[in-house]
Amino acid sequence: MKTRELTFGPLIASLLITSAAFAADIYTGGHGDIGVSYIDNELVFRYELGSSAIVNGSPLGTVTQFAPDEIITQAGPTAYEEITSPLTSYFPDKTHGYFFGANSSSTTPYLGFGADDPTIGGGWGPGPHGLPAINYSIAGVTYTGAALDPQILYYSLGPFGEIYTLYDHLGDATVPNIPLPVGAHSHATWGFSDPGIYDVTWSANGTHVIDGFKQTTGTFRFEILPVPEPASITLGVLGLLALTLACRRFRRQVSA
């Protein structure tokens, strides 16, 4: 704990404290989906993480479902990338951001959306594509961190590099639905402008042919770790070196 605080500074220390209060496992890589189950005639949000998903530093080993508050999706330096066109207009005054989710990776979360839980079944009304569907949309975002204007972008790229925006900007009131055919899942790119904690509340709805309109919400926590400053890294190395020398002196004294 002290090493991480020394390396990453006060912001990461506050993030660790907040994460501890959330009391959840940390998901950092491999395949996962945000989705719903249909239990007792109600939609219920959940994570479904694949057997290769990295949780608390190790592969799960088996496909596992979690409640939203049981997992923190975490990304940091391995997701840190330069912002280039056409993304520059979505992240004004930013040269770099944190991006993950569209490509399979063991070092960043490969997190998408699913409507393929076996409990859902096939008795749902059609979405805009004419297929039985569950519709997802963002209901709200709460940010904890140092940024004055944090931004979230959830998007996919078209065949000519154009942006298809699924969600743009923290607090955007005109959030489109993401309709998923029942039995399917999809992946796009999550983009975050700044380090901090983003508590994202999603809404899911659909019309069951027997039970009628169903809707639920769930809050999913994203923890974006800062990239360490060079000076902080130097301090961390010096601190570890000093600790090593102190341990050597202690061992010599004990031996004497």
What pTM value is reported for the model? 0.81
Examine the pLDDT at 243 and tell me if it is beyond 90: no
Task: Tell me how many domains the chain contains.
Answer: 1
Q: For residue 92, is it within any domain?
A: yes
Task: Average the pLDDT over 8-23 and give the result.
Answer: 49
Task: Average the pLDDT over 126-148 and give the result.
Answer: 90
Q: For residue 241, is it within any domain?
A: no
Cα separations in angstroms, 217 against 21, 24, 200, 203, 211: 21, 19, 10, 4, 18
Give the per-residue pLDDT at 166.
77
Q: How confident is the model at residue 42 (pLDDT cuts 50, 70, 90)?
A: very high
Domain that holds residue 220: 11-225
Cα separations in angstroms, 244 against 12, 188, 240: 24, 45, 6
Q: For residue 26, is it within any domain?
A: yes
Long-range contacts of the stretch 8-12 (C-beta < 8 A, 24+): 8/225, 8/226, 8/228, 8/232, 9/226, 9/228, 9/229, 9/232, 11/145, 11/146, 11/195, 11/196, 11/226, 12/225, 12/226
Q: For residue 38, is it within any domain?
A: yes
Q: For residue 231, is it within any domain?
A: no
